[in-house]
Structure 1
């Protein structure tokens, strides 16, 4: 686990869409699981509600996958890859705070079957390149996970 300005970012098994503050984990069946990064959920604040697109919906990379609502933010979370939504995390729909409490575990938001992985894979970063890009974006935006 790498910690940047108080925010946690697991390296093993995770890749990142730094611009949308979403993580991706590639699953054995060719699908992906995705959710908000620690900095993403921290910036949004205590989540009250998540309204995702429906299972079966086709979404494009960078477009709305869900709407989130917190005490200080209402807006989209964007898909890190294009694909068809195949599963939603019912536990998160019932209790959006799971995203705040465990963003890389029980707080995952959706699973999708990628449709443009060959052309979009390069937009996701892993390892040191991901950590460097995250560090740079957090510095540029003056973000951290210390304040509430």
Structure 2
């Protein structure tokens, strides 16, 4: 597990740094998507989660869900294009799960990717992701999680 300024950044995941989202390719070929711990720290406690419906086609960098905290409402932008195949009912019931376990139980949606191989080339992993998050946090003046 990588850590940047107190924020957990699992190095095996794929990240869209600008949008503060991660992607994990599952054994069945689908892709789980979620917010980073950095995004959760910026947003504060998530109080509402509204995912796109199963069957909905999502373009890369377009909203696959909307989340709301006490100080922010915004889209969760898909790091890859695909069709929503699952939403997280546990997060619907308890949106704060996103904050407590952003890389596990707090996943946002699962997508059947349109073209994982092409879309994944734009995502960062491992040390590249850690360095990119450090640069982003520095540019944003972020003190830490």
Shorter-chain TM-score: which interval? over 0.9
Contact 1:39 1:144 in 2 (8 A): no
More displaced stretch, 72-81 vs 117-126: 117-126
Contact 1:49 1:68 in 2 (8 A): yes
Matched pairs, number: 145
1:53-94: CA deviations, max 9, x gaps?
A: 101000011111111111000111111100000000100011
TM-score by length of 1: 0.94
Alpha-carbon separation, structure 2, partners of 1:104 and 1:112: 16
Q: Unaligned stretches of 5+ in structure 1?
A: none
TM-score by length of 2: 0.96
Alpha-carbon separation, structure 1, partners of 2:62 and 2:137: 22
- 1:123 alignment partner, SS class: coil
1:10-52: CA deviations, max 9, x gaps?
A: 113x111111111111111111111000001111110100101
- 1:132 alignment partner, SS class: helix
- What does residue range 133-144 of structure 1 map to in structure 2 within 5 Å? 133-144=132-143
**How many angstroms does 1:145 deviate by?**
3.2
Q: Which residue is equivalent to 1:7?
A: 7
1:87-141: CA deviations, max 9, x gaps?
A: 0010001110000001111111110000022321111111111111111111111
